[in-house]
Structure 1
Amino acid sequence: MYIYLVTFGNIEKRLLFGIAKNVKETFGFEVRLSSVASPLKHAYDHERKQYVGEKILDYLSTLNYPELLKILALISWDMYAEGFNFVFGLAKIQGREAVVSTFRLFSRDERLFFERVFKEVNHELGHTFGLGHCPDRRCVMSFSNSIDDTDHKSKNFCTSCKTKLKTAIAELTF
């Protein structure tokens, strides 16, 4: 089983390889990279000048790849979800689809930028494995309402969330 990473927009290859390594280390699954030709025009909200996260997740649900476990889209555009001005990412809880936008995570400091993206990738994939938001502000599953929240938390799971994640992964591999 694989976690597929698909890209939309201008995503640097070094970032993709870094994400793949991070996902393998964090979740223990191999990552396959794929690009999708669709520019996601149907998911763009012209009034807000942002992409609609739920529409991207719906599109991802139509994609099928061999031995697909989870699918994570990485987009370089701004994104929002219903009820929010913007979101860094979105996922279907206990589903297989997740999306992360690099738009508001960007920093000229490449190390900081990559770290932010890794945190949001781990957070959204955590949701796909059934994890909710964590009250521990250092845990990667802590809700990020601002870039400061993202910078404050770790890219790792707290002890409680790590236990829940291991249980979820063990159930999938039996």
Structure 2
Amino acid sequence: MMYIYMAGFSVEKRLLLATAKNVKEVFGFDVRFSHIALPPTLGYNPARKQYKAQALLEYLSKVYYPDMLKLIALFPFDLYEEGLNFVFGLAQLGGRYALVSTYRLFDKREELYFNRVFKEVNHELGHTFGLMHCKTPGCVMNFSNSLWEVDAKSRFFCGNCIKILPKP
């Protein structure tokens, strides 16, 4: 049996558990939790006060479990990529590894905050399953460059995208 592994770095346990439940509901795969030690300054750019997402993703890609289908990590840091002010997440297209930053998704209203995280986790995992950005209104694979765009989409895949996802 293959699992989607999830790691959380200084992310509240309630969010991790709720996100795991979301992943199971949307993808159908059971979730296992991974404990990964992260060097504290890995990818940190003091001039920007942000972490480079690609550096964190490369570090994650060294983690392997024999029963691992995918690994998604949640970080509380503000992330960026070259040429962009920030990113909500990053994934290996068609690969195993993805990450999401909770930093800009936070809201005092827990339901809104958790739903934003669910959407971005589903989006980044979608990339690991080979999905590109989708233009179907409301599809979780819609590109998001703002909280408004995150809030406007569903946490679910459209009919076309869901056909591409594997079944457990």
Q: TM-score range by the shorter chain?
A: over 0.9
The one-letter code matched in structure 2 to 1:117 is: V
1:115-130 equivalence runs, <5 A: 115-130=115-130
Map of 2:19 onto structure 1: 19
Q: How far did 1:161 drift?
A: 0.7
What SS is found at the alignment partner of 2:104? helix
Q: Is the aligned partner of 1:98 residue 2:106?
A: no
Q: In structure 2, give the amino acid aligned to 1:105.
A: L
Which has the higher mean CA deviation after the structures are superposed, 29-38 or 132-141?
29-38
**Higher helix share goes to which structure?**
1
Change (3 A) 1:72 1:40: farther
Structure 1 residues 36-75: aligned runs within 5 Å? 36-75=36-75
Alpha-carbon distance, 1:64 to partner: 1.4
Aligned twin of 1:6: 7
**How many residue pairs were aligned?**
167
The 1-side partners of 2:69 and 2:81 are apart by: 24
User: 3-state SS of the aligned residue for 1:105?
Assistant: coil
Distance in 2, matches of 1:134 and 1:40, equals 35
The one-letter amino acid paired with 2:73 is A
1:40 is displaced (CA, Å) by 4.5
| Contact preservation (8 Å) 1:132, 1:141 | yes
Higher relative contact order (CA 8 A, sep 6+): 2
* Counterpart residue type for residue 89 of structure 1: G
What is aligned with 1:159?
159
Per the TM alignment, residue 137 of structure 1 is displaced from its structure 2 partner at its CA by 3.0
After superposition, residues 78-97 of structure 1 pair within 5 angstroms as: 78-97=78-97
Contact 1:5 1:31 in 2 (8 A): yes
CA–CA separation in structure 2 for the residues paired with 1:142 and 1:27: 17
Answer yes or no: is the 8 Å Cα contact 1:40–1:56 preserved in 2: no
Distance in 2 between the 1:46 and 1:81 partners?
A: 14
Structure 2 gaps, min length 5? none
Identity of aligned residues (%): 56
Aligned partner of 2:149 in structure 1 is 149
Question: In structure 2, how many angstroms separate the alpha carbons of the residues matched to 1:92 and 1:38?
Answer: 19
Q: CA RMSD in A?
A: 1.2
Post-superposition, which runs of at least 4 consecutive aligned residues in structure 1 deviate over 4 A?
none
Q: Indicate the larger mover: 48-57 or 33-42.
A: 33-42
Amino acid at match of 1:106: F
Q: Quick one: distance in 2 between partners of 1:158 and 1:137?
A: 8
Query: Gaps (5+ residues) in structure 1?
Result: none
1:61 deviates by: 0.8
